[in-house]
Amino acid sequence: MVTKTRTSKKSKFIQKCPECKSINLTIDEKRGEVICKSCGLVIEENEIDFGQEWREFSGDGESKRRAGSPMSFAKHDMGTGTEVGSVSEVYGLKGSDRRKFIRMRKWHNRSSTSLERNLKYALVELRRVSSLLNVPPAIEEEAARIYRLAVTKGLVRGRSMESVVVGAIYISSRLFNLPRSLNEVTNKTNTNKRDVGKTYRFIARELGIKLLPSGPTDYIPKFANKLSFSAETQTKAIEILKTAQEQELTSGRGPTGLAAAALYVASLITGEKRTQREIADVVGVTEVTIRNRYKEMIEKLNLDKMLEEAKLKLEGAE
């Protein structure tokens, strides 16, 4: 009976030779055989190769990748399309072959459907908008999937391609809990807020996508990072917002305005003072909004004592 023990990735087992009891074995990867170097006995054959699989061929020879690039919704052909040569190859051909090559490429491009042509242009625009908004690749991939579904179901007809692309990215950001307000998205992409708003709501409704409203706490890390607040101020702002939610102070009010006011109050408590104008410029709300939310929090959450203690503490430290 042959005893087997585990070894490296290339060889699944180490065996002792049943003839000479030697462990001086070698693996012939091309033949898939385990051979004893001492007596030459073929111990096993038809072994499975657990190494990389060289299956991609190009003009430069064999490429050291397993099976090509992965499928992606962000590519109009899902990354599985074909091309008739490359443009640079035409210069190495003779006259008749060159005309034949150009004609084949032309008919190959014309054979694409209207859906493929729409995706080809729209996904280029989607990558551009994703770059402007600096969203992660996962959100870009999900936005491409949403756009592809919308095109397949005919939801794009009668709407501008830009509004649908921006709407898909906005929906994807909401699904991944990435705080992006509609004002911020439309301002950076230079699109009409009304058109994008109507488009994203229509697409979400038709595709059955449920979007939960963004809470003010979702915006705290983003705004605090832009204002260079410490972790203590961020934590204090989140605590203030949680207390405000328990007191039902956040209902019917904009999340960005509440986040700005909470950061302003937290900065007064921790001593990292910022003016209302500085916070308003970063958040994208008016000073009046911050001032109104600030007054409501001070009155209804009884933060007067906490602010006085923080002020006395700072004066004592000075």
pLDDT tops 80 at residue 66: no
CATH of domain 216-317: 1.10.472.10
Helix (H) or strand (E) holding 5: strand 4-6
Burial pattern 22-57, b for ≥16 Cβ within 10 A else e, equals eeebebeeeeeebbbeeeeeebeeebeeeeeeeeee
Q: Enter the DSSP assignment of 213.
A: P
Structure tokens at 38: 């001492």
In order of 245, 259, 276, 290, the CA distances from 253 in angstroms are 11, 11, 18, 11
Of 137, 206, 198, 123, the C-alpha closest to 165 is: 123
Give the integer Cα–Cα distance in Å for 183 and 136: 20
* CB-facing half-sphere around the CA of 88: CA atoms within 13 A: 1
What digits encode the pLDDT tens for the residues 197-207? 999 999 999 99
Q: How far is CA 80 from the centre of its chain?
A: 21
**Mean pLDDT comparison of 29-33, 153-157, 180-184, highest-scoring range:** 153-157
Question: pLDDT band for position 70 (50/70/90)?
Answer: low
Of 116, 219, 127, the C-alpha closest to 168 is: 127
Give domain limits for the chain.
4-44, 114-207, 216-317
Mean pLDDT of 57-70: 56
Matching CATH number, 4-44, of 2.20.25.10, 3.40.228.10, 3.40.225.10, 3.40.50.150:
2.20.25.10
Mean pLDDT of 158-182: 89
Task: Provide the pLDDT for residue 59.
Answer: 53
Task: Provide the pLDDT for residue 219.
Answer: 87
Query: Which CATH superfamily is 114-207 part of?
Result: Cyclin-like (1.10.472.10)
pLDDT tops 90 at residue 166: yes
Structure tokens at 123: 């996904």
Q: Positive or negative, the Cα torsion across 307, 308, 314, 318?
A: positive
* CB-facing half-sphere around the CA of 122: CA atoms within 13 A: 31
Task: Provide the pLDDT for residue 57.
Answer: 54
Give the integer Cα–Cα distance in Å for 308 and 155: 57
Question: Cβ of 93: how many Cβ atoms within 10 Å?
Answer: 14
Task: Provide the pLDDT for residue 54.
Answer: 55
Lowest-pLDDT range of 58-62, 76-80, 199-203, 298-302? 58-62
Residue length of the chain: 318
Considering only residues 158 and 80, tell me which one the structure prediction assigns the higher pLDDT.
158
Q: Are the beta carbons of 297 and 303 closer than 8 angstroms? A: yes
Q: Do domains 4-44 and 114-207 have the same CATH topology?
A: no
What digits encode the pLDDT tens for the residues 276-285? 899 999 888 8
pTM score: 0.64
Considering only residues 16 and 108, tell me which one the structure prediction assigns the higher pLDDT.
16
Q: Is 127 exposed, middle or buried (0-12, 13-18, 19+ CB in 10 A)?
A: middle
Residue type at 100 in one-letter notation: K
Question: Cβ of 177: how many Cβ atoms within 10 Å?
Answer: 10
* CB-facing half-sphere around the CA of 305: CA atoms within 13 A: 3
pLDDT tops 70 at residue 318: no
pLDDT tops 50 at residue 303: yes
Considering only residues 69 and 194, tell me which one the structure prediction assigns the higher pLDDT.
194
